[in-house]
Structure 1
Amino acid sequence: MKLLDKYILKRYLTTFLFTLLILIPIAVAIDIAEKIDKFLRHENLSLFELVNDYYKNFVIYYANTFMPLALFIAVILFTSRLANNTEIVAINSSQISFTRFLYPYFIGATILATLALFMNHYFVPNSSKTRRGFEKKYLSRVKYEDKTVRDFSLQLNDSTYIFIQNFNLERNSGYNFSTEIYKGIHLKYKLTADNINWNEKDSTYKLYNWKERKVLKNRDSIFTGSSLDTTFTFTPNDLNYKSIVAQEMRSGEIKDFIKISKKRGIKNLNAYYVELYKRSSLPVASYILTLIAVALAHKKKRGGLGVNLALGIAAMFVYVFFMKVGEVLGAVAGADPLINVWIPNIMFGIFAIYLFWNARK
């Protein structure tokens, strides 16, 4: 049986690699065709920089993205070939159960899932940061982008809060700013300003038309002024929350960011939770997709490989559809990101168990 396990595992990994090596060059060719004019527009862009900073990381990102699809198609391809060559009939005749037949498949799925987990949590974020830096430098055109944060509140510590009605992240300036310090439920200090500007060089803020109020035991102390230089324990970067930033952060960094943000009173961090949970859900899908693919392709069908491949691609399309819908819904405020991210795996896991139960019979 060890010989058969090695044979199936070898076919599993080589067919997966072959499928991935077909998909990646297609993606690269399409990307070059779309962006060749933008590359030629920059005379200072060297071939080394193009390959090393962009396409190397492009291949890493899309190889990781296409991994579930390549895995699914690969298992269907070589399992259908085994069935068409009546090799599975010979295996069944040897009194080898369907469960035992799956053993080398799941060894292969474990190898790929482990690789995907490492890439998702550690390697791909750094790669994405380099690739996106290249895109911003050479591929992004000057477009209008709303870089204004509106009606933003932030908890700096257990007793200090800030409120900003409007802050422009490009100009590092805003208006209608206030900070409040509480002792329990009682207000002890409040500072307001009509305008606030961030000085990146000195890491200080300049307040204009400010008003300071200190709540004392029997009276309030109020001071006003036209301008005031001061510091706070936040920067404009703390006001900018985008899921694209999460894609460039390692999982440990996302967890630390979420922990700090919770203390600061940030209400909606679902986009970061979605990115964190997705990095584990996709590798786990390797087992589910492998089981579905084997269950669909292990019997010889009229129409052969084409029928199995069509069924597999249709199933994969449904999985990707639910995966994207789950990511979008999970990022919405008030939603449960864990449930939404894992919905495709839950649904296809039930489907895989159903197919496995029928295949055992």
Structure 2
Amino acid sequence: MRILDKYILKKYLTSFVFVLLILIPVIIAVNVSEKIDKFLRNPELTVGSIISDYYVNFIVTIGNMILPLALFISVLFFTSKLAGNTEIIAMNSAKISFARFLKPYFIGATIVTIFSLLLNHFIVPQSSKIHSDFENKYIKKRKVDYNNVTDVNLQLSENDYIYVKSFNLKRNVGFDFCYERYDGIQLKEKLICDNIRFREKDSSYRMTNFYKRELSEGDDVISFGRRMDTVFSFMPDDLLHVESFAKEMRTPKLMEYIEVSRARGRGNLNTYLVELYKRTSLPISSYILTLIAVSLGSVKRRGGIGVNLAIGITLMFIYVFLLKIVEVIGGSADSNPMFLVWLPNIIFAAIAIYLYINARK
């Protein structure tokens, strides 16, 4: 690696860390001013627990969110400074092409991308869970009950469906249960009961006050009774479907959950798919944002660094706005989550190529 590459790479990484260290304390200060009264209302909270349980995980979560912004601003700023000091002109005079000039930038982008991928896929989900649990318990005063589920529809196989009005996952007891078996579009069997209990010792279900009807071309077969034991191809945990879990599951567990849910025939899983794809698309944007920032910053403008920063920050806010829009639209049932999640990167990659061509001239 040449001296020039080391110089630019050092500037790239130090500027990035410097911007993060500026932005994060400001965000923390704003957050503390908003939450201080709620912290004081909980006498059991200590300064140590607030820092370790809340703010450490808050820094991880918020740092990951502002990472693209910090990267873009830092690269744009120090590249504009290089152009302002005519250092880029000196590089051109030394016959260094613009493509060669980008090499250390992309080495830095690779380092940031790898770091961001590790954050998004493994570290941030756990921090989000701890941070969310703390907020629900002490700030929002909202008790989140994951032991009770209501109005659950689940497809067990191509022809088997169940519905349960409510189910307590702690006691393994449900009420108003219904099972239906189809042949194509024709109902072949229907089984309903007042309540159903999962028995862990033999993985069976005990139904109370059941009514069963088997439909055929001839006479229907009807049976009913006080109690019946049977088995189904689902476990009680399969009934739990909470969208907020997507942000709190590490990627291997999230992928497993999506695969199992698809096999179970769950309806709309796009919220989970958006979260899964976003964990990769956001880190990859480091390359695109770096190219845009260098292409903008390398051009010396009459207004100085301020003009480059104004143009860059405007583009950055458009990018963030698009990310939020596609996240909402991608969660709808009839959308293509993969295409929508990658759409901002596709649009800004086209902008990056256009700016690169102009900057190279």
1:76–1:293 contact (8 Å) kept in structure 2: yes
Question: Does structure 1 retain, via aligned residues, the 8 Å contact 2:58–2:131?
Answer: yes
Paired letter, 1:58: F
8 Å Cα contact 2:151/2:163 also seen in 1:
yes
> Aligned runs of 1:96-107 on 2, under 5 Å?
96-107=96-107
Shift of 1:160: 3.1
2:70 paired with 1:62: no
Partner of 1:88: 88
Supply the AA of the counterpart residue of 2:279: R
Aligned residues: 360
Identical pairs, percent: 53
Rounded Cα–Cα distance in structure 2 between residues aligned with 1:308 and 1:254: 40
Other-structure match for 1:129: 129
Q: Report what 2:344 is aligned to.
A: 344
Q: Contact 2:136/2:142 (CA < 8 Å) preserved in 1?
A: no
Structure 1 match to 2:260? 260
1:75-120 per-position Cα deviation (integer Å, ceiling 9, x unaligned): 0110111111111111111111111111100000000001111111
- Give the residue type in structure 2 aligned to 1:118: L
Q: Which amino acid aligns with 2:95?
A: Q
- The CA distance in 2 between the partners of 1:33 and 1:54, in whole Å, is 14
* Shift in CA distance, 172/41, structure 1 to aligned 2, threshold 3 Å: farther
Q: How does 1:228-247 map to 2 (within 5 A)?
A: 232=232, 234=234, 237-247=237-247
The one-letter code sitting in structure 2 at the alignment partner of 1:134 is F
CA-to-partner distance for each residue in 1:39-89, whole Å, 9 max, x for gaps?
111111122221111111111111111110000000011011111111111
Matches within 5 A, 1:308-319: 308-319=308-319
- Is the CA contact 1:199–1:206 (under 8 Å) kept in the aligned structure 2? yes
Structure-2 separation of matches of 1:229 and 1:140:
43
Paired amino acid for 1:52? S
Matches for 1:1-361 after TM superposition, within 5 Å: 2-142=2-142, 152-157=152-157, 159-164=159-164, 176-181=176-181, 189-194=189-194, 209-214=209-214, 220-225=220-225, 232=232, 234=234, 237-361=237-361
Q: Report if aligned partners of 1:72, 1:289 keep a CA contact under 8 Å in 2.
A: yes
Between the aligned partners of 1:127 and 1:318, the Cα distance in structure 2 is: 28
Other structure's SS at 1:265 match:
coil
- Distance in 1 (CA, whole Å) between partners of 2:140 and 2:232 is 33
User: What one-letter code is carried by the residue in structure 2 that aligns with 1:132?
Assistant: S
Q: Deviations over 1:7-39 (max 9, x none)?
A: 000000000000001111111111111111111
What whole-Å deviation, never above 9, does each CA across 1:183-207 have from its counterpart, x for those lacking one? Answer: 777755431135667899x998775
The letter of the residue matching 2:155 is Q
Structure 2, unaligned runs of 5 or more: none
Q: Distance in 1 between matches of 2:17 and 2:345?
A: 23
> How far is the alpha carbon of 1:2 from its aligned partner?
0.4
Query: Are 1:153 and 1:265, in contact at CA under 8 Å, matched by a contact in 2?
Result: no
How far the C-alpha of 1:157 sits from its partner, in A, is: 3.8
User: Which letter does structure 1 place at the counterpart of 2:277?
Assistant: Y
Q: What is the alpha-carbon distance in structure 2 between the residues aligned to residue 235 and residue 53 of structure 1?
A: 33
Distance in 1 of aligned mates of 2:275 and 2:132: 17
Q: Is the 8 A contact 2:136 2:143 kept in 1?
A: no
1:172 and 1:136 map into 2 onto residues whose CA distance is: 25
CA contact (8 A) 1:242 1:271 kept: no
| Structure 1 pair 105–144 and aligned structure 2 pair: CA distance change class (3 A) | closer
C-alpha RMSD of the superposition: 3.2
Please list the CA deviations of residues 148-177 of structure 1 after superposition, one character each: whole Å capped at 9, or x if unmatched: 977642122455320246779999987653
Deviating more after overlay: 151-160 vs 309-318: 151-160
Over 3 Å counting, the alpha-carbon distance change for 1:137 and 1:232 in structure 2 is farther
Q: Which range moves more in the overlay, 279-288 or 241-250? A: 241-250
How many angstroms apart in 1 are the aligned matches of 2:6 and 2:211? Answer: 76
Letter in 2 for 1:13: L
Q: TM-score, normalised by structure 1?
A: 0.88
Cα distance in 2, alignment partners of residues 308 and 111 from structure 1? 25
**Which secondary structure does the structure 1 equivalent of 2:303 belong to?**
coil
Check whether the contact 2:136–2:144 (CA below 8 A) recurs between aligned residues: no
The secondary structure found in structure 1 opposite 2:333 is coil
CA contact (8 A) 1:268 1:333 kept: yes
Please list every run of 5 or more consecutive structure 1 residues that lacks an aligned counterpart in the other structure.
none
AA partner of residue 271 (structure 2): A
